[in-house]
Amino acid sequence: MPSDATSPSARRTELLEAAYRYALTHGLAELSLRPLAAAIGSSPRVLLFLFGSKDGLVRALLQRARADELALLNRLQPPTASEPSGLAAAGGQVWSWLVAEEHRPLLRLWTEAYVRSLVEPDGPWGGFARDTVEDWLAVLATWQPAQPGHAEPDATARTLTLAVLRGALLDLLATGDQTRVTNAVTRHFALLRQDVSEKSP
């Protein structure tokens, strides 16, 4: 149990961070409280006290993973008057982050949570996939230039951009073929820039 010198909320945060590091290495599919607790210097009883249940712990870990995802999106350099804007520029920035080797553990965990959210919508994973899609689409929308006669940017274009990035990421995680996948992503965004240029007045 938490000591007098450590509040439950502080101890919860400490153990959540440790459990998150564990999940990045071991995944969440077969998460068991006993080996997790032993690995992070706690006990199943303390984890249940702090998180309410195993499902509560899983939900907290998914929220933590989503926080990392949102931190990535917030680090995107926003378009300015002197810098290129549009989905091609945003997609290039995102892919540079996704392809970095040090981010593979987080991306594998994200992929696992995304799939489990689809096949177990009533479990602790429920809503993770939808929330992720909405997060990314919202950020991509800020990179779309205004369209004459349209109140909002084209949802179809940013949906396609997200689909390309997500599909390429799954391919990369499955094969590790960074050169081939990056070439495909680069070509797609080059074609997107060309299409936008041709349509510009």
pLDDT tier at 145, thresholds 50, 70, 90: low
Minimum mean pLDDT range among 55-64, 71-80, 84-93:
71-80
Q: Please state whether the predicted TM-score (pTM) of the whole model is above 0.75.
A: yes
pLDDT in tens, 89-144: 888 888 998 999 999 999 999 999 999 999 988 889 889 999 999 988 988 888 87
Instruction: Indicate whether 45 pLDDT > 80.
Output: yes
Q: Within 13 Å of residue 55, how many CA atoms lie on the same side as its CB? A: 6
DSSP 83-118: S--SHHHHHHHHHHHHT-GGGHHHHHHHHHHHHHHH
Element (H, E) at 66: helix 54-75
Contact 14, 5 (CB under 8 A): no
- Within 8 A by CB and 6+ apart from 198, the residues are none
